[in-house]
Amino acid sequence: MQDETSGAAADESSDGTHSSWTRRVIGYVAILILVNVMVDTVLAAPTFVLPELKDAFHTDQLAWIDSSAMLAGAMWAPLLGKSADIHGKRRVLVTALLVAGIGGVVCLLAPNIGVFVLGRALQGSAVAAMFLSVAIIRDLCTSRFAMVVTGVVTSGSAVFGIVSPFVLEGATAVFGWRFVFVVSAAFAAVAAFCVRRVIPNSRIRTPGTVDLRGGLALGGGLAGVLVYISLGQELGWAGAVPLAILTGGVALLLVWFFVLSRIPEPVIDLRGISLALGLGLLVVVTGTGAYRSMLSLFSLLVDVSPDEGLGYGIAGPGALGLMFGIPSIGIMLGGVVAGTIATRLGPAWPLGAGVALGTTASLVMLSAGTASLPVAVVCSFMLSLTAGSLVTSGFNLASVLAPPERQASVSGIVMVMVAIGSVTMSFIGSAILGATNTVVDGETVNSSTGIHAYIAVAAGVFALAAVPTGFLIHRMRGHGTRAAHKPRGVVRT
């Protein structure tokens, strides 16, 4: 008994948070990694079967199939983040996991594309699971230790990603595309059970109420603008329906910005976003958008053989596993290394390193990788390092700039930026490919011009992300280290 007491005292700070690795902390982390594995099955696993889904639902709207869950996540995140600060992070996390599981079942049984997209919208609640897992870590760990743990939690699910492409490639060949959603629903149920049984209740809560009107207005406005980007490709950018949706979305955003964001307890408090956090959000929205668009492109390249003479294509034995399995190591390394560096230099520097890697990988892919599997694998690995670094550093930056009672809300803002960037770039990429299609032997296929234009746009977005990154590093100079060592406070800059 005496040893246990002294061990607990050594592990926990004066406010009860953990400051080092123990069996209890490892157990918490294992459960939260399981949660993020479920998130990966929602967001990434469907990219493995995009061609099969395209044929099953007789649609060319691959961006909707791929990004509808992330789009819904942008709508879910503000409400769930605010609710978690008020009602408890564990309770909201369990609810989000159960809703995502129901969405997986709907996708599994969907008879048409409309019902399928509804299921993906329900699965979008899983997006909340990632930022809530980070907010829970901030409750359980001291500030400096939490940066490392955040890297492990946000990127640890990549271990599953190393083997999942090989497993899914064989399983979907036998059972079809529905197998992906069986796995997703099962992971959601198991993760909800484990979180409820193992993760402790939130110690820090914020008194107040959830602004449902503001959440619906903000979510509806974002959805309207993003849906316009999608429908513009098919119905015309000046078409009556797309313009009506865009007008409605912009109107809702204006109402939220000028009216609902200025009430005493808005769903997102813009007044609490510092210049440094704003710069970080710009980096996240551009960098993660560029990475997610490249991930979607890889799934198309893997489906085309270079022997077809289209000027692109990397299909071959084991190509799917190589493109989505081995690079998963990069996500894990990127997240863990970014979290470790943040404890010494602050989160701005690893955020900048991620942008630099992403830019380099995109340029190499553009020049030599669209028809070479080895080059494409190396670029995919570099982009995975980018993904791990950007997500981990984005959450770490938000955590050091937000007070403890607003961790879930601010982490939710980061997730909204991830969702907006991912959805916008996927739709833009889909529009580029659709506008440059060519016909070969009576079949409409993506042209080499479209593929290379797609990659060039992603590289350009990465380059744009470097601008706010430079300002952020300058702004955070000297602040990052103090923030990393500050026990539970907030750094305003």
- Over 50: is that where the pLDDT of 129 sits? yes
- Over 90: is that where the pLDDT of 354 sits? yes
* Average confidence (pLDDT) over 10-39: 82
For the domain spanning 18-210+267-485, the CATH number is 1.20.1250.20
What are the pLDDT digits (tens) for 300-324? 888 888 888 888 888 887 787 777 7
* Average confidence (pLDDT) over 126-146: 86
* Higher pLDDT, residue 284 or 238: 284
For residue 62, the model assigns a pLDDT of 64
pLDDT interval class at 290 (50, 70, 90): very high
Cα angle: 288, vertex 289, 294; to 5 degrees: 95
CA distance 119 to 95: 16
* Average confidence (pLDDT) over 474-488: 59
What are the pLDDT digits (tens) for 30-78? 999 989 888 888 877 777 777 788 777 777 666 667 677 877 887 778 8
Cβ distance 161 to 381 under 8 Å? no
- Over 50: is that where the pLDDT of 191 sits? yes
For residue 488, the model assigns a pLDDT of 47
| Pair of tokens at residue 128 | 């909340």
* Higher pLDDT, residue 352 or 73: 352
* Average confidence (pLDDT) over 126-137: 85
| Pair of tokens at residue 474 | 């300058």
Cβ distance 139 to 411 under 8 Å? no
Sign for the CA dihedral angle at 249, 102, 186, 136 comes to positive
For residue 353, the model assigns a pLDDT of 94
What are the pLDDT digits (tens) for 236-253? 778 888 889 899 999 999
Whole-number mean pLDDT of the chain?
A: 83
For residue 25, the model assigns a pLDDT of 92
For residue 199, the model assigns a pLDDT of 92
pLDDT interval class at 427 (50, 70, 90): confident
For residue 143, the model assigns a pLDDT of 84
Lowest mean pLDDT among 243-257, 260-274, 313-327, 335-349: 313-327
For residue 230, the model assigns a pLDDT of 67
Residue 347, CA distances (Å) to 112, 190, 307, 399 in order: 44, 32, 45, 10
CA distance 268 to 27: 32
Residue 89, CA distances (Å) to 95, 215, 242, 412 in order: 10, 18, 37, 12
pTM of the model: 0.80
Residue 301, CA distances (Å) to 25, 47, 293, 433 in order: 41, 12, 13, 12
For residue 55, the model assigns a pLDDT of 77
Q: Calculate what percentage of the chain has a pLDDT beyond 70.
A: 89
- Over 80: is that where the pLDDT of 294 sits? yes
- Over 80: is that where the pLDDT of 165 sits? no
For residue 479, the model assigns a pLDDT of 56
CA distance 294 to 429: 9
Residue 168, CA distances (Å) to 162, 174, 178, 295, 359 in order: 11, 10, 11, 17, 30
Lowest mean pLDDT among 65-79, 179-193, 194-208: 65-79
Domain ranges within the chain, ordered by starting residue: 18-210+267-485, 211-266
The set of residues, in sequence order, having a beta carbon less than 8 Å from that of 236 and lying 6+ positions away, is 242
For residue 8, the model assigns a pLDDT of 44
